[in-house]
Amino acid sequence: MSTDGANPGTRWLPRLMGVLLLLMGLALLAGGIKLSQLGGSLYYLIAGLGFAVSGALLLASRRLGLGLYGLVLLGSTAWALHEVGLDWWQLVPRLAIWFAIGVVLLLPWARRPLIGPAAKANTALLSVAVLASGACALGSQFTHPGEVFGELGRDSSEMGAAAPAMPDGDWQAYGRTEHGDRYSPLRQITPQNAYRLEEAWRIRTGDLPTDNDPVELTNENTPLKANGMLYACTAHSKVLALDPDTGAEIWRYDPQIKTPVGTFKGFAHMTCRGVSYYDENSYVSRDGSPAPKVSDAGQAVAQACPRRLYLPTADARLIAINADNGKVCEGFANQGAIDLTTGIGPFTAGGYYSTSPVAVTRSLVIIGGHVTDNESTNEPSGVIRAYDVHDGHLVWNWDSNNPDDTKPLAPGKMYSRNSANMWSLASVDEDLGMVYLPLGNQTPDQWGADRTPGAEKYSAGVVALDLATGKARWNYQFTHHDLWDMDVGSQPTLVHLKTKEGVKPAIIVPTKQGSLYVLDRRDGTPIVPIREIPVPQGAVKGDHTAPTQARSDLNLLGPELTEQAMWGATPFDQMLCRIQFRELRYEGQYTPPSEQGTLVYPGNVGVFNWGSVSVDPVRQLLFTSPNYMAFVSKMVPREQVAAGSKRESETSGVQPNTGAPYAVTMHPFMSPLGIPCQAPAWGYVAAIDLFTNKVVWKHKNGTTRDSTPVPIGMPVGVPSMGGSIVTAGGVGFLSGTLDQYLRAYDVNNGKEIWKARLPAGGQATPMTYTGKDGKQYVLIVAGGHGSLGTKMGDYIIAYKLPD
């Protein structure tokens, strides 16, 4: 009989809590023993024992269970504060469940049925513990770990834009110009009025996933505004010309893409990031130099198609289209198309094609190509080819395995296999006569023992080629002997920078590893210092590692991961993440791949990817959205690859690496509940002052609204895949986050000043233009991204200020 006269039938609540705590405690105890054996924290072992004993006491209806639980909760709170301070997102998995249980145990229905002495003392101890943990949660609401608050403090400088001229209201290239700065001189939309933006129109392209598509169907297109029209391409390489004021379709072109096997399931990605625009009249005596000689065939093309679009297709063609009417320019190349498989050699469906728009110069179209990662050691060449902009004949080709021989490949010959490629976008400076190529790696990514001298020199860096000859003028390698898939996915940005030595023509190259390399684009010498830092050693048997890696003083690297940085939704998956962390090899950035399994951070999706950055050349401000997601790679000796193992995507299944002694598995570093093992934030929006090379502001960006079963928009800071733009009006736009929004920011301080809910994932770079009505529009393609798992769609949406 209870000493306080409680009915034994009311003891179900403390007994239920006792069973729950006993099971939870035993689970923590078991995991804590494992973690301690790996050299990890002893907290889980101690706490597990304490919770288990308190659960057993509650099961026995003893009041001492309350006091012991309070003691463990108080210790857990002190431990959490010691590890992470007042960081709300990191306190949640450490304390939220224990706080909630403590609140339940303070309820009269849980306390009164218990027996034993010192009721007030045990209750008081539990109350103090609950209040302490609650106070931590409350106090952490006012902290902003990882964020930077500041003001740029200027709307202009003596610097001006140096990019090629075009009408202010146009957006004629993927990065607006071939300098790739993603800067618009439009200024109707400002931080003061952006909140008034409203949808002007939306259309649906009708291009949706089919049964023949890979999982990774992606919609990454940035439309162009030129020739009084908008030009967009869809994931299946269809081109639409739209009225800029209404979105009404003017014409449509369907290249009827196909593969030899009639299916696209072998493709790693199915995407079209953009088309390229060329206007004969734009290049007449633009820089005072004489016009290049044009063949008779080229003159015929110029007359029949004076304004052209160049479309790279998913079945490896480059097609010239009349921008006025959508008809193929039949006089270009072979009835309007170039077969990009010429000289490439055999490959599986999807093994080679161009996902990014070509670079266009006064006389050339320059194109690279996607080569499937980690399929084999005998993949197509990554050759870069330059074709005559008028008639489509091959002018030069540059192959990193044969860099000095740039004369056009002879008929019947083949480019070298498996050379470093360019799947992203080049940038062009016609005044200096150079094209700047962001290069990928020689596949496979994690095995480098058989790399060619050309790959060891040029891959995972930037190379500047002479426009006239295709010869390399200079190169800078950012990752030596790359074993982490640190290919350069960002389009380089060309801008004039003010330095202590005067104004310099610069190239800024954002990279997956978090460094922004700032070089003099005339000769490749660093403007911002680049230091060769010692890195971890010890590659798998037969391979080697570079002793140092190049790190720019201008970087957005996060701190190295520690066990304390492990995360999860609960203490249990956080504990399992800690165990994973201890079991993996990780000695900081550039830890070599291993049979043990290596934690790669930043991961191979990168801090910066194909979305690149945007630069306001007048304010001398760089605007961007860095990501922070760790990946795990594990080398699998060939003899251990299980029969039937197969590649499912670039981040799941066994990547075969046929021809190499190791296959590899790769996946994001996730908890058993499918959430990241590393603590948030995983995505930011940030600005850098290019006068000082300092971060002006950096804020968490994006919410969990579309990433969890409960659609609550918690401002955690989520990854983004897509680029940003900036305007003379002082507004930046970004839509690539995992939640479905297009957002506007005040570039001076990073404040989010407007957002619009999208009907699908917005993993594309927005653009802005002036309509025929004189209004400034902001446009986004919202079609989703298969690799990220965002909602698929086929929308193009434009916004403007109300009349």
Please tell me the distance from the alpha carbon of residue 800 to that of residue 733, in angstroms, as a whole number: 13
Tokens of 388: 């005559």
The set of residues, in sequence order, having a beta carbon less than 8 Å from that of 696 and lying 6+ positions away, is: 148, 150, 151, 152, 621, 687, 688, 689, 750
The most distant pair of C-alpha atoms in the chain lies apart, rounded to whole Å, by 107
- In terms of Cα–Cα distance, which of 662, 642, 645, 643 is closest to 654? 645
CB atoms within 10 A of CB 505: 17
Tokens of 508: 């800024």
Provide the sign of the torsion angle of the four alpha carbons 614, 478, 668, 576, taken in this order: negative
Catalytic residue among 213, 482, 485, 543: 485
CA 622 to chain CA centroid, nearest Å: 17
Tokens of 768: 């802005």
Tokens of 581: 């962390």
Half-sphere exposure of 176 (CA within 13 A, CB side): 32
Please tell me the distance from the alpha carbon of residue 219 to that of residue 274, in angstroms, as a whole number: 10
Please tell me the distance from the alpha carbon of residue 646 to that of residue 53, in angstroms, as a whole number: 47
- In terms of Cα–Cα distance, which of 712, 710, 718 is closest to 734? 718
Residue type for position 345 = G
Q: Residue 608 to residues 99, 345, 437, 590, 726: CA-CA distances in angstroms?
A: 38, 32, 16, 16, 17
399 in the Ramachandran plot: left (φ > 0), alpha (ψ -120 to 50) or beta? beta
Sheet with 364-367: list strands edge to edge: 359-360, 364-367, 384-388, 394-398
The set of residues, in sequence order, having a beta carbon less than 8 Å from that of 288 and lying 6+ positions away, is: none
Tokens of 178: 């071939």
Residue 676 per-residue DSSP state: B
Q: Are strands 276-279 and 493-499 parallel, antiparallel or unpaired?
A: unpaired
Provide the sign of the torsion angle of the four alpha carbons 140, 141, 143, 147, taken in this order: positive
Please tell me the distance from the alpha carbon of residue 716 to that of residue 285, in angstroms, as a whole number: 52
Please tell me the distance from the alpha carbon of residue 181 to that of residue 723, in angstroms, as a whole number: 11
DSSP 697-743: EEEE---STTTSSS---------B-S-EEEETTSEEEE--BSSSEEE
Half-sphere exposure of 344 (CA within 13 A, CB side): 24
Q: How many residues does the chain have?
A: 803
Tokens of 430: 């016609």
Phi, psi angles (nearest 5°) of residue 257: -65, 150
Q: Are 311 and 318 in contact (CB under 8 A)?
A: yes
- In terms of Cα–Cα distance, which of 648, 652, 645, 646 is closest to 631? 652
Q: Are strands 530-534 and 548-552 parallel, antiparallel or unpaired?
A: antiparallel
Residue type for position 38 = L
Tokens of 450: 């058989």
CA dihedral 345, 663, 350, 275 (to 10 degrees): -100
Residue 485 bears catalytic tag: yes
Measure the N-to-C terminal CA separation of the chain; round to a whole number of Å: 79
Please tell me the distance from the alpha carbon of residue 97 to that of residue 801, in angstroms, as a whole number: 46
- In terms of Cα–Cα distance, which of 680, 713, 712 is closest to 699? 680
Q: Residue 754 to residues 193, 704, 734, 770: CA-CA distances in angstroms?
A: 9, 18, 11, 20
| Residues catalogued as catalytic | 485
